[in-house]
Amino acid sequence: MVSTNSLKNGMTLNLDGELWRVEYFQHVKPGKGGAFVRTTLKGVRNGKTVDRTFRAGENVEQAILTKRQLQYLYREGQQLVFMDTEHFEQTFVSEEAIGDAALWFVEGDTIELVFHADEVVGVNLPASVDLTVTETEPGIQGDRVSGATKPATLETGAVVQVPLFINPGERIKVDTRTGAYSSRA
């Protein structure tokens, strides 16, 4: 249990059986009446955002999350298979638990998964990844329009907008937070 007076951004709470991450909090002491804590919470599993107010000093349950480095092996239907590199145990994770993060890693990558008990509730990705362009229109001599882009399919199946000079087979750096092209790798 943790007091609402000691909430921090990024802290994960277990409220009514659901996991919520504190996105924003504000301790308010009005001139009249008791103090309270105004929060914005984001659902860890569903991504839904809610505003909730707690009395100051009220105790809420803090969720204990653990992070483990696992190696991504392959996709099997709707499941992604990861392996613990220390114990060689395989973990099957549903695509729903990973979400769009699966677009940014390839077989053999080491990924940091976030667990609550034995359930995967999130993925910590690096800020950018290097991926190979598998399909795009070839760059043509004379394509020099400033800021012009074209769609490119990456080795993971993700489609990003890239500059006209990028050709199939090139490695590019992609920002995993926005899904945008950053530079050549």
Q: DSSP letter string over 1-33?
A: -EEGGG--TT-EEEETTEEEEEEEEEEE--SSS
Residue 62 in this model has a pLDDT that exceeds 80: yes
Helix (H) or strand (E) holding 97: helix 95-98
pLDDT digits (tens, 9 = 90+) for 81-94: 888 888 888 888 88
E-strand ranges in the chain read 2-3, 12-15, 18-28, 36-43, 49-55, 59-62, 65-76, 79-84, 90-94, 110-116, 119-124, 128-135, 149-154, 159-163, 171-175, 180-184
Dihedral sign for Cα 147, 154, 48, 55, please: negative
Amino acid at 25: F
Distances in whole angstroms, Cα of residue 74 to Cα of each of 91, 137, 169: 11, 28, 22
**pTM surpassing 0.85?**
no
According to CATH, what is the number of the domain 2-62?
2.30.30.30
What percent of the chain stands above pLDDT 70?
95
Please determine whether the domains at 2-62 and 65-124 fall in the same fold group of CATH.
no
The answer to whether domain 65-124 has CATH 3.90.550.10 is: no
Domain-wise residue ranges, the chain: 2-62, 65-124, 128-184
Output the pLDDT for position 88. 84
Superfamily designation of domain 128-184 = Nucleic acid-binding proteins (2.40.50.140)
Output the pLDDT for position 146. 67
Mean pLDDT value of segment 133-155: 77
Output the pLDDT for position 148. 78
Output the pLDDT for position 141. 62
